[in-house]
Amino acid sequence: MLRSRGRIPSTADGIPRAPGGLPFVGHGARLLRDPLGFLSSLPGHGDLVRVRIGPSRVIVVCDPGLARKVLLNDRAFDKGGPLVSRAREVAGNGLLTCPHHEHRRQRRLIQPAFHRDRMPGYAHAMSARVADTIAGWRKGEVIDVPAAMYTLAATITVEAMFSSDLPPAAIGTAIDDLTTIVRGMLPRMLRPALADHLPTPGNRGYRRAGARLRRQLNDIIASRRADGTDHGDMLSAVLAACDPDGAGGRLSDAEVSDQVLTIFGAGTETTAATMAWALHLLARHPEVERQVHEEVDAALAGAPAAPGHLPLLPVTGNVVTEALRLYPPIWIATRTLTSGTRFGGHDFPPGTVFAYSPYLLHHRADLYTDPERFDPARWDGDRPRPPRDAYLPFGAGARKCIGDQFGIMEATLALATIAGRWRLRSLPGPAIRPATGITLSPRRLRMRVTARTSGTPA
Considering the domain boundaries, does residue 8 fall inside one? yes
Average pLDDT, the chain: 88
- Residue 337 bridge partners (DSSP): 77
Q: Would you say 253 and 218 are in contact if contact means Cβ atoms under 8 Å apart?
A: yes
Greater confidence (183 vs 221) lies with 221
In angstroms, what CA-CA distances link 143 with 8, 149, 173, 425, 443?
A: 56, 10, 21, 10, 13
Residue 313 and residue 305 in contact, taking contact as beta carbons nearer than 8 Å: yes
pLDDT at 343: 95
Q: Is residue 188 part of a domain?
A: no
Q: Which residues pair with 336 in a beta bridge?
A: 78, 353
Residue 352 lies in a domain: yes
Confidence of residue 152 (pLDDT cuts 50, 70, 90): very high
| Average pLDDT estimate for 29-55 | 90
Q: Are 144 and 279 in contact (CB under 8 A)?
A: no
Q: Which of 149, 154, 123 is CA-nearest to residue 418?
A: 149
Please give the residue that has the higher pLDDT: either 410 or 55. 410
- 187-234, pLDDT tens digit by residue? 776 676 777 788 888 889 888 988 898 888 888 888 888 888 888 889
Residue 74 is assigned to a structural domain of this protein: yes
Q: Which domain holds residue 67?
A: 1-92+331-392
At a CB cut-off of 8 Å and minimum separation 6, what does 258 contact? 91, 92, 93, 94
Residue 33: inside a domain = yes
More confident residue, 195 or 59: 59
| pLDDT > 70 in the chain, percent | 91
Task: Tell me the CATH number at 355.
Answer: 1.10.630.10
Confidence at residue 244, expressed as pLDDT on a 0 to 100 scale: 63
* Residue 436: pLDDT band with limits 50, 70, 90: confident
- What average pLDDT does this structure show over 290-312? 95
Phi, psi of 122 (to 5 degrees): -60, -45
Q: How far, in Å, CA of 283 to CA of 350, rounded?
A: 48
Give the model's pLDDT for residue 281.
98
Confidence band of 458 (pLDDT split at 50, 70, 90): very low
pLDDT recorded at residue 166: 72
pTM: 0.89
Higher-pLDDT residue of 406, 230:
406
Integer Cα distance of 83 and 335 in angstroms:
9
Q: What is the pLDDT of residue 186?
A: 65
Q: How many domains does the chain have?
A: 1
> At residue 154, does pLDDT exceed 70?
yes
In this structure, is residue 351 part of a structural domain? yes
Nearest one of 344, 312, 318, 336 to 411, comparing CA atoms: 318
User: Which letter, b or e, does each residue of 147-167 get, where b requires 16 or more Cβ atoms within 10 Å of its Cβ?
Assistant: ebbbbbbbbbbbbbbbbebbe
Would you place residue 289 in the very low, low, confident or very high pLDDT band (cuts 50, 70, 90)? very high
The per-residue pLDDT for range 314-366, each reduced to its tens digit, is 999 999 999 999 999 999 988 999 999 999 999 999 999 999 999 999 999 99
When pLDDT is averaged across residues 69-84 and rounded to a whole number, the result is 87
Q: Is residue 12 part of a domain?
A: yes
365 in a structural domain? yes
pLDDT at residue 165, as a whole number: 64
